[in-house]
């Protein structure tokens, strides 16, 4: 039987959380060769391969998620030992990966990260901007911030606030629409357009609200946008008479099988509080 210690596991966990040997080395305060050596030694000792080496970084293999869950459990235990030994004080350290849409990552979440870094300088946040749903079961991210009518069965979370949508254009006489494609077709805006906007009135489609914002701003058509995007753009006019008021819950969620570390729990609760405080902006 192999005797593991926390120092071995923390290298593996750092690579899984950051998806990068260089970022893991920066977080741990060592050089990247040390991280490669420690991860390679762990894999050799157990006769396994944990990560797929890709051009985008280190991707945890699907059948190795149980190893990372066990490493997270060890991390929680070590943090509790540290907390008790230091008289109950808790210092947040490590990396928490948060995935959200491109619009939220651009306009809302940087404010949260900035405020959190002031309070918790040893805690690193990785923002993953994607309109597709990353696979949280494979540790691509710890926390998801997503607008959705409901969560999929493999996720659990809490509604932080409501996200509002409206129609925008540079000209109120505009009759052509900008369509939604890709993951946006599954949004509340996509469902409304599918039911109410004839295909022959759609000129251009995009899979990003940020792209649609720019196309609307140059006069190519009416775009349905999150209000925190459209309202802040002086080039656009809100057209409230074209579509009914529309909101969707904004969730802070995680995978049902995720082991909730103290860092993850703290970030999640602060995210919920921060987004609730932004209701006038996003709603």
Tens digit of each residue's pLDDT (9 = 90 or more) over 192-230: 999 999 999 999 999 999 999 999 999 999 999 999 999
Tell me the pLDDT of the chain averaged across its residues: 84
pLDDT at 40: 85
Rg (CA), the chain: 22
Cα(first)–Cα(last) distance of the chain, in Å?
56
Cα distance between residue 270 and residue 214, in whole Å? 32
pLDDT at 1: 43
pLDDT at 243: 93
Query: Above 50 in pLDDT, residue 84?
Result: yes
What is the value of pTM for the model shown? 0.69
Please check whether residue 270 is in contact with residue 116, taking contact to mean a CB–CB distance below 8 angstroms.
Answer: yes
Pick the CATH number of 94-283 from 3.40.190.290, 3.20.20.70, 1.10.10.1200, 3.40.190.170: 3.40.190.290
pLDDT at 163: 93
Highest mean pLDDT among 120-134, 211-225, 256-270: 211-225
What is the DSSP code string of the chain?
A: -----HHHHHHHHHHHHHS-HHHHHHHHTS-HHHHHHHHHHHHHHHT---EEEETTEEEE-GGGHHHHHHHHHHHHHHHHHHHHHTTT-----EEEEEEE-HHHHHHTHHHHHHHHHHH-TTEEEEEEE-SS---GGGTS-SEEEEE-SS--TTEEEEEEEEEEEEEEES-TT---EEEE-GGGGGSHHHHHHHHHS-GGGEEEEES-HHHHHHHHHTTS-BEEEEHHHHTT-TT-EE-TTTS--EEEEEEEEEETT----HHHHHHHHHHHHHHHHTHHHH-
pLDDT at 225: 96
Torsions phi, psi for 155 (to 5 deg) = -130, 150
Query: Above 80 in pLDDT, residue 260?
Result: no
Average pLDDT over residues 265-269: 86
Highest mean pLDDT among 43-52, 60-69, 71-80: 43-52
Q: Which CATH architecture has domain 1-90?
A: Orthogonal Bundle (1.10)
Domain boundaries, the chain: 1-90, 94-283
Tokens encoding 256: 């049902």
pLDDT at 138: 47
pLDDT grade, residue 137 (50/70/90)? very low
Q: Is the model more confident about 154 or about 207? A: 207
Give the C-alpha distances (Å, rounded to integers) separating 39 from 10, 13, 54, 172: 9, 9, 16, 59
Average pLDDT over residues 105-128: 86
Highest mean pLDDT among 123-127, 220-224, 265-269: 220-224
Burial class (CB in 10 A: 0-12, 13-18, 19+), 4: middle
Please check whether residue 257 is in contact with residue 157, taking contact to mean a CB–CB distance below 8 angstroms.
Answer: no
Q: Which positions ≥6 away from 79 have C-beta within 8 Å?
A: 90, 261, 262
Average pLDDT over residues 278-282: 78
pLDDT at 92: 67
Strand partners, 143: 98
């Amino acid at each position: 039987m192999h005797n593991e210690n926390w120092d071995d596991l923390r290298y593996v966990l750092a690579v899984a959380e950051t998806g990068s040997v260089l970022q893991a080395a920066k977080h741990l305060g060592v050089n990247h060769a040390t991280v490669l050596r420690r991860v390679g030694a762990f894999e050799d000792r157990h006769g396994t391969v944990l990560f797929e080496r890709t051009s985008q970084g280190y991707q945890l293999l699907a059948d190795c998620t149980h190893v990372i869950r066990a490493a997270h459990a060890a991390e929680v235990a070590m943090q509790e030992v540290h907390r008790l030994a230091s008289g109950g004080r808790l210092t947040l350290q490590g990396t928490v990966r948060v995935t959200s849409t491109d619009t939220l990552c651009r306009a809302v979440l940087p404010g949260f990260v900035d405020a959190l870094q002031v309070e918790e300088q040893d805690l690193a946040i990785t923002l993953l901007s994607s309109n597709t749903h990353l696979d949280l079961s494979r540790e691509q991210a710890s926390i998801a911030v997503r607008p959705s009518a409901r969560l999929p069965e493999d996720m659990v979370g809490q509604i932080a606030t409501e996200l509002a949508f409206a129609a925008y254009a540079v000209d109120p006489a505009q009759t052509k629409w900008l369509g939604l494609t890709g993951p946006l077709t599954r949004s509340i805006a996509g469902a409304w357009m599918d039911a109410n906007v004839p295909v022959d009135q759609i000129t251009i489609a995009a899979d990003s609200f940020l792209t649609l914002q720019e196309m609307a701003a140059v006069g190519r058509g009416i775009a349905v946008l999150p209000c925190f995007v459209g309202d802040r753009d002086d080039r656009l006019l809100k057209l409230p008479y074209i579509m009914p008021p529309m909101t969707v819950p904004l969730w802070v969620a995680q995978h049902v099988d995720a082991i909730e570390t103290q860092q993850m729990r703290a970030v999640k609760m602060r995210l919920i509080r921060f987004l609730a405080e932004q209701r006038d902006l996003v709603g």
